[in-house]
Structure 1
Amino acid sequence: MHSIVLAAEPAASSGRLVPAALAGIALIVVLITYFKVHPFLSLTLGSVLVGAIAGLPMADTIEGFGKGFGDTAAGVGALIALGAMFGKLLADSGGADQIVDTIVGRSGRRFLPWAMALVGALIGLPMFFEIGLVLLMPVIYLVARRSGLSIIAVGIPALAGLSAMHGLVPPHPGPLVAIDALKADLGLTLGLGVLVALPTVAVSGPVFARYASRWVDVAPPELYVTDAADDDEEVTKGEVTKGEVTKGEVTKGEVTKGEVTKGEVTKGEVTKGEGRRRPSFAVTLLTVLLPVVLMMGKAFADILLDEGDRVRTVLDDLGTPLVALLIAVVVAMFTLGLGAGMNRQSISASVTASLPPIAGILLIVAAGGGFKQTLIDTGIGDLVADWVKDSGFSVLFLAWLVAVLIRLATGSATVATVTAAGILAPLVSGLDSGETSLLVLAIGAGSLFFSHVNDAGFWLVKEYFGLTVGQNIKTWSLMETVISVCGLVFVLLLNLVV
């Protein structure tokens, strides 16, 4: 076990710190789950309660919360905003549809679940889970009807790709805030996150869907029915070949104003500009992968090249997360925006419309940073570090378990991530860069465990798939659990070689 360097002296004895931490977390859980208070307010009130019970002066509690709030907002706020802009351009330009149509259109019936998992992973790389889900639902319905497969067989792999990327791979909010809180290397975490996510998606997506579709066999709900979809009888079972999922089939009218909430996909996102040309598949794919390549290039340069080397300096500059995402957004304006025939006004409107839906996410993430700082200031984190050092538990398993418990209690993957990262922050001083990145991924995997009735995503999937609560638990909830457990297993396996 690595030696652990402790920070400041605790504000009180362990007899007060443990109840303070438990009371703060319990208050957050009760406010979010029972009273339906917004997580931003819940985390703020939880921080105040922790400081009060731990004996920290109120002025110091507020100052510490403000510092954590500001540092987290400064560290990840711009990245989340740039990620949202990139995702919106991808959706509005038709680039996302191009990726979907190309991959699905070239897959035979047998490989459709694998193709849908790949689509979910690629769309999930730059997009938030909810937006990716809304974007993919018409395609899931269409592919299920055309192929004769259950919506579970087609939909679960796509959801697995979306969810795994959301929990494990930056620039999504959860991994970003954990990277910031634990001072992990973003490029290295991104590379390891992809290594963990790919086999995790394979097991929790196509493999799990093979069994889940036997337990729950439902036809696609009668949503997004178009003239093209009504011709299903003319398409023989299993005939999903190139050209059958075409440009017009996932466009006008399939996602209409009012079918989704709070601007996740607004009027015109999948409708306006039906005659607009799409960017090519190659251009779209290269644009999506650009920020990933830049950030991973920085990670490889730091490992393989000497400090001060000119190539390493250039790659370090280009791979800095803010620079990489900024370059990706600017490039996307040309390759996806202008490349799809969008004018300057359309591009500006798309970028502007991407920001309001993420305001709540930014506040939750920043408040989570404030709560983390309160835990650090009171010395609770050091107490946990001492306990871990003497317990013999794997730090990675403990991080996963803490995130699992908070996820089960609050239903929020983001709250689980930021809270677990705050509790475990003092452990980082005894870990090397690779282990710190794996700690981030263990927390991310734990934050996805068993989505149930207190998670908004649970109800979103249930309604879109037309399932009962029981059917949703047998499919979506179990899929999330498989992602979480597989994620932990692959993190522990990587820990043997990293």
Structure 2
Amino acid sequence: MIILVVILAIVFIIISSTWLKLHPLVGLLVAALGVGIFSGLPVDKLAETIGKGFGELMSKIGLMVILGCVIGAILDKSGAAIKVADIILNFFGKKYPAFAMSVIGAVVGIPVFCDSGFIILSKLNKIVAKKTNRPLGTIAIALSGGLFATHTLVPPTPGPLSAAGNLNISDSVGLVILVGLVVSIPSLFLSTWFAQKFAKNLDIIEDDELKINDTEEKTLIPAWKAFMPILLPILLITIASFAKILQSGGFPLPEQLTKWLSFLGSPLISFLLAIFFSYSLFPEKPAEKMLACFKSGIEHCGTTLVLVGAGGAFGAVLKETPLKDMVSTWLITNQTSGIVFLLIAFLVAAFFKTAQGSTTSSMVLTSGILAPLTTSMGFTEPLDLTLLVMAVGSGAMTVSHANDAWFWVVSQFTGLNQKDAYRTHTLLTGLQGIVSLIVTCLIYLIF
């Protein structure tokens, strides 16, 4: 009975946002109430459970999501994103522009939403295509693949950050970042190969009047300042994670040093430090421009926060139902392996992504459903749970199509018709999800 109730709730979440055109928040909350009532949970405690689920997830990752969005706005408004792209392009040279664009996308996609990143870099697409005499379709699809890979797998973007929070590994974000980077690397090579092979002959309306302003490029901010908002948090979080690894491995650092590294390497403090140093990106009226970045970032992440919290509420209700025990018993009785559990995570996330379009919602819902099952499946260590986040993220890539805003951003800012967007962008996101899952399973088998 409970399985049928949950399936109907999931179907309702999808129909409410696609056919009934309700806001996803309404669909998630109504589904949570429905699951609670029809599964026999005490109705006098149901509202409290929903509120608690919403609040607990917000307490874990809410501020990090907000600050991550602010960093994204800083990269946009300061011109740092363009500078980062220009440096990476020069590093790889004109011989490998498609791979350079994938790498650019991967770097910018760590703190910036992939749709915002593509819009920010859409002019760069045209500049690179003209400078290197390569088809615009190849350059644009390679960029979209790079952006999508890290957006789905590497915090501080909300999807992997929310999944880590649901699976109770918020204090191991550094490990999630490191593993996410490793898992996303094959996706960059895939994006490059796919773009060069299948996107070179696309029918695109190109901007023949585009003029490259060399003077403007030369007056961009210094390289180290451009990279700082991206690399500083990653560096601090990584150092703190290595300190924990050394301590658990019997090679502890001095206690006071470990405390300070842990403090500075917490996502919240590292993001705040990156934002503090970002004032130097604006030589004129820094306070005024940073205030604009805060306003833009907060506005951008408002809907995301609401959906993340609502997903946490839905997951909290699921945890109170008998579903956890039933599924756990079935998995154990059938001697389900860890690989099968990763595959289940992938399939559930792919179902949500394909049905309702949002990568973040897919990761929040899937991780919330799987969280009660992790212990019974033997997923208790940070690395195991991190690989579960990767499996969920791989599923949440699969696939981007017409119900996904990302689909329309790539197609409209590139000049693709809908048919060509399905043949390239949609197909690539599906392949990226499968490749990322394979890499995740290989890491699981090795370690």
Measured against aligned partners, the alpha-carbon deviations of 1:353-379 in whole angstroms (never above 9, x if no partner) come to 221121111100100000110110113
Residue 290 (structure 1) shift: 0.6
Q: 1:57 to 1:81 in 2, by over 3 A?
A: same
Cα distance in 2 between the residues matched to 1:107 and 1:180:
36
Measured against aligned partners, the alpha-carbon deviations of 1:362-413 in whole angstroms (never above 9, x if no partner) come to 1001000001101101132332232222332521111111111111111111
Cα distance in 1 between the residues matched to 2:45 and 2:147:
40
| Equivalent residue, structure 2, for 1:116 | 101
Does structure 1 conserve the Cα–Cα contact (< 8 Å) formed by 2:102 and 2:142?
Answer: yes
Structure 1 residue 294 and structure 2 residue 236: aligned? yes
Task: Give matches, 1:171-190, under 5 Å.
Answer: 171-184=156-169, 185-190=172-177
Q: Using the TM superposition, name which of 439-448 and 419-428 deviates more.
A: 419-428
Task: Give matches, 1:360-371, under 5 Å.
Answer: 360-371=303-314
Measured against aligned partners, the alpha-carbon deviations of 1:48-75 in whole angstroms (never above 9, x if no partner) come to 1111221123332221111010111121
Give the letter aligned to residue 171 of structure 1: P
Give the letter aligned to residue 313 of structure 1: K
Does structure 2 conserve the Cα–Cα contact (< 8 Å) formed by 1:376 and 1:382?
Answer: no
Structure 1 residue 207 and structure 2 residue 196: aligned? no
| Equivalent residue, structure 2, for 1:193 | 180
Could you tell me the percent identity over the aligned residues? 30
| Equivalent residue, structure 1, for 2:136 | 151
Cα distance in 2 between the residues matched to 1:59 and 1:148:
66
Out of 62, 66, 88, the position equivalent to 2:51 is 66
TM-score between the two structures when normalised by the length of structure 2: 0.92
Does structure 1 conserve the Cα–Cα contact (< 8 Å) formed by 2:237 and 2:265?
Answer: yes
Does structure 2 conserve the Cα–Cα contact (< 8 Å) formed by 1:380 and 1:423?
Answer: no
Cα distance in 2 between the residues matched to 1:175 and 1:65:
22
Structure 1 residue 284 and structure 2 residue 270: aligned? no
Q: Using the TM superposition, name which of 312-321 and 161-170 deviates more.
A: 312-321
Measured against aligned partners, the alpha-carbon deviations of 1:72-117 in whole angstroms (never above 9, x if no partner) come to 1121110011011111111111111111222224544321011111
Residue 291 (structure 1) shift: 0.3
- Residue ranges of structure 1 left out of the alignment (5+ in a row): 1-15, 230-244, 250-274
| Equivalent residue, structure 2, for 1:426 | 372
Does structure 2 conserve the Cα–Cα contact (< 8 Å) formed by 1:47 and 1:371?
Answer: yes
SS at match of 1:186: helix
Q: 1:329 to 1:390 in 2, by over 3 A?
A: farther
| Equivalent residue, structure 1, for 2:401 | 452
Out of 336, 341, 357, the position equivalent to 1:395 is 341
| Equivalent residue, structure 1, for 2:255 | 309
SS at match of 1:294: helix
Out of 126, 136, 156, the position equivalent to 2:121 is 136
Q: Using the TM superposition, name which of 61-70 and 280-289 deviates more.
A: 280-289
Does structure 2 conserve the Cα–Cα contact (< 8 Å) formed by 1:68 and 1:370?
Answer: yes
Residue 166 (structure 1) shift: 0.9
Does structure 2 conserve the Cα–Cα contact (< 8 Å) formed by 1:141 and 1:220?
Answer: no
Residue 443 (structure 1) shift: 0.4
Size of the aligned set, in residue pairs, is 435
Relative contact order: is structure 1 or structure 2 higher (C-alpha 8 Å, sep ≥ 6)? 1
Out of 276, 279, 290, the position equivalent to 1:330 is 276
Cα distance in 1 between the residues matched to 2:179 and 2:322:
31
Out of 347, 350, 355, the position equivalent to 1:404 is 350
Does structure 2 conserve the Cα–Cα contact (< 8 Å) formed by 1:384 and 1:423?
Answer: no
Q: 1:220 to 1:139 in 2, by over 3 A?
A: farther
Out of 320, 330, 341, the position equivalent to 2:266 is 320
Measured against aligned partners, the alpha-carbon deviations of 1:274-304 in whole angstroms (never above 9, x if no partner) come to x9x5321123223320101111112111111
Q: Using the TM superposition, name which of 378-387 and 288-297 deviates more.
A: 378-387
